[in-house]
């Protein structure tokens, strides 16, 4: 949208279609969480084989971040790309449910990872294409809210389904949920998704070779500083819940499952309640103050985990995880949109930052486990808190405010 142009006015049908698409997509993606390990274990798979297919899936997701973002930038219809991705995930869930032989499960994990690489950038592109830059903060907050609600409901529903019916049924439910997700996506009017806005300011097809665009983004100071901050955040954040779950199990084995479940649910509730507010305030306050709040919550969480022995207080500390998650769910695509405005490569930049997130998360779990085994869990939590504090200081010193001065708040869409 050119400066001074009237703001976009997407229809209620398209906006509600995006709401429900995100909700059902969160339901679909939940089936590929811990349920995969539970299901394959029940099928008498060895932990080595389970670990191998999960590792291949993770590496595929990591390698596909940048190509996935570039694909969305090159697409003429983000809605079509999102629909194909959902279909791929549905096929992979069906394959898991029907054939539990190693080659099929491995292929299903790869398909799921490839589809997921595209969905994140596609949703952000559809959102930006629909509402424009002036309302994107509020829209991203709404997206995070519906995703969190979908995750919570799906986790409970699929857990009950696996307990009452069978672990295999979880994946048939996942396939079934692809249908309402696609129907909701169909309600979004393709002609209301402005391709120029959706790709960061240039009409498709984009000029220049992909590598030229990639190198150009690597010269974007705000984007690179933000990616470095995110790497430090993920180095500290990714292993924190799993390590804390182990501590809870050792201290209160009888209630460990319930307490760990509560540790997962509490942040989801906080994200659902807080993310719309974060999106709204991002237009009023700017991005930087909220980003610093989200980054500051993580070192405090690590310190409290290191100093707290009561397992029930550990659950309460997870409120801080919800604060960080709510802020980052909105700020990551929002700051990327700001930093790449006018480049035409918003979604490629999402892939670059997504790769940084994956790299930080990949190395951190092994590192934290090593420190915990050799020095104790408290030392590991102190170490993660220190890394998180470094990320906060980097953002405090080097991260600029990316909101344009002429941007003003709009009513939440």
Per-residue pLDDT tens over the stretch 369-413: 778 778 887 888 899 999 999 999 999 999 988 887 766 544 444
Q: Which helix (H) or strand (E) holds 236?
A: helix 221-237
> Model-level pTM?
0.80
Give the C-alpha separation, 178 to 187, whole Å. Answer: 15
Q: How many CB atoms lie within 10 A of CB 216?
A: 14
CATH match for 8-199 among 3.40.50.720, 1.20.1250.20, 3.40.50.300, 3.30.428.10: 1.20.1250.20
The DSSP code for 190 is G
Q: Half-sphere exposure of residue 248, counting CA atoms within 13 Å on the CB side?
A: 26
CA distance 407 to 337: 13
Neighbours of 334 (CB within 10 A): 27
DSSP labels, 35-95: HHHHHHHHTT--HHHHHHHHHHHHHHHHHTHHHHHHHHHH-S-HHHHHHHHHHHHHHHHHH
Q: How many CB atoms lie within 10 A of CB 48?
A: 7
Residue of 320, 181, 314 whose CA lies nearest to 237? 320
Q: What size, in residues, is the chain?
A: 413
The correct CATH number of 209-413 out of 3.40.50.2300, 1.20.1260.10, 1.20.1250.20, 1.10.260.40 is 1.20.1250.20
pLDDT of residue 262: 74
In angstroms, the CA 96 to CA 294 distance is: 37
DSSP secondary structure string for all residues of 171-188: HHHHHHHHHHHHHHHHHS
Q: List pLDDT tens digits, range 24-41.
A: 888 787 767 667 776 777
More confident residue, 127 or 171: 127
Q: How far apart are CA 198 and CA 191, in angstroms?
A: 12
Residue ranges of the chain assigned to CATH 1.20.1250.20: 8-199, 209-413
* pLDDT tens, residue by residue, 130-160: 888 888 888 988 998 998 888 878 777 777 7
Average pLDDT over all residues of the chain: 82
* Cβ-Cβ contacts under 8 Å for 405 (sequence gap 6 or more): none
What was the pLDDT predicted at 199?
Answer: 80
204: DSSP letter: S
CB proximity list for 384: less than 8 A, separation 6 or greater: 235, 236, 237, 239, 240, 302, 364, 368
Instruction: Kindly tell me the burial class for residue 7, based on how many C-beta atoms sit within 10 Å of its own C-beta (0-12, 13-18, 19 or more).
Output: exposed
């Amino acid at each position: 949208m050119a400066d001074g142009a009237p703001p976009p006015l997407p229809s209620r049908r398209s906006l509600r279609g995006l709401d429900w698409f995100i909700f059902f997509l969160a339901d679909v993606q939940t089936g590929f969480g811990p349920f995969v390990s539970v299901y394959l274990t029940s099928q008498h798979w060895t932990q080595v084989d389970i670990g191998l297919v999960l590792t291949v899936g993770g590496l595929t997701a990591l390698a596909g971040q940048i190509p996935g973002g570039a694909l969305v930038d090159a697409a003429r219809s983000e809605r079509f790309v999102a629909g194909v991705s959902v279909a791929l995930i549905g096929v992979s869930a069906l394959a898991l449910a029907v054939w539990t032989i190693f080659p099929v499960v491995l292929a299903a994990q790869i398909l799921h990872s490839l589809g997921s690489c595209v969905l994140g950038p596609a949703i952000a592109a559809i959102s930006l294409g629909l509402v424009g830059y002036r309302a994107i903060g509020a829209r991203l907050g709404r997206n995070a809210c519906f995703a969190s609600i979908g995750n919570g409901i799906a986790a409970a529903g699929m857990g009950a389904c696996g307990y009452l019916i069978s672990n295999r049924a979880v994946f048939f439910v996942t396939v079934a949920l692809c249908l309402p997700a696609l129907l909701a996506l169909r309600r979004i009017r393709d002609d209301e998704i402005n391709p120029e806005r959706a790709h960061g300011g240039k009409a498709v097809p984009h000029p220049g070779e992909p590598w030229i665009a990639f190198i150009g983004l690597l010269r974007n100071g705000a984007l690179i500083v933000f990616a470095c901050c995110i790497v430090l955040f993920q180095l500290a954040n990714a292993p924190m819940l799993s390590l804390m779950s182990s501590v809870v199990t050792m201290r209160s084995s009888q209630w460990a499952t319930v307490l760990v479940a509560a540790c997962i649910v509490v942040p989801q509730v906080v994200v659902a309640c807080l993310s719309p507010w974060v999106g709204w305030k991002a237009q009023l306050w700017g991005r930087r103050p909220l980003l610093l709040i989200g980054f500051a919550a993580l070192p405090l969480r690590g310190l409290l985990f290191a100093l707290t022995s009561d397992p029930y207080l550990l659950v309460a500390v997870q409120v801080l995880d919800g604060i960080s998650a709510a802020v980052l769910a909105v700020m990551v695509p929002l700051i990327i949109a700001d930093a790449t405005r006018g480049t035409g490569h918003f979604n490629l930049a999402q892939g670059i930052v997504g790769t940084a997130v994956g790299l930080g998360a990949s190395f951190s779990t092994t590192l934290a486990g090593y420190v915990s085994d050799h020095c104790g869990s408290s030392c590991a939590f102190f170490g993660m808190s220190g890394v998180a504090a470094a990320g906060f200081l980097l953002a405090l010193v080097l991260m600029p405010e990316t909101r344009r001065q002429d941007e003003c708040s709009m009513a939440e869409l």
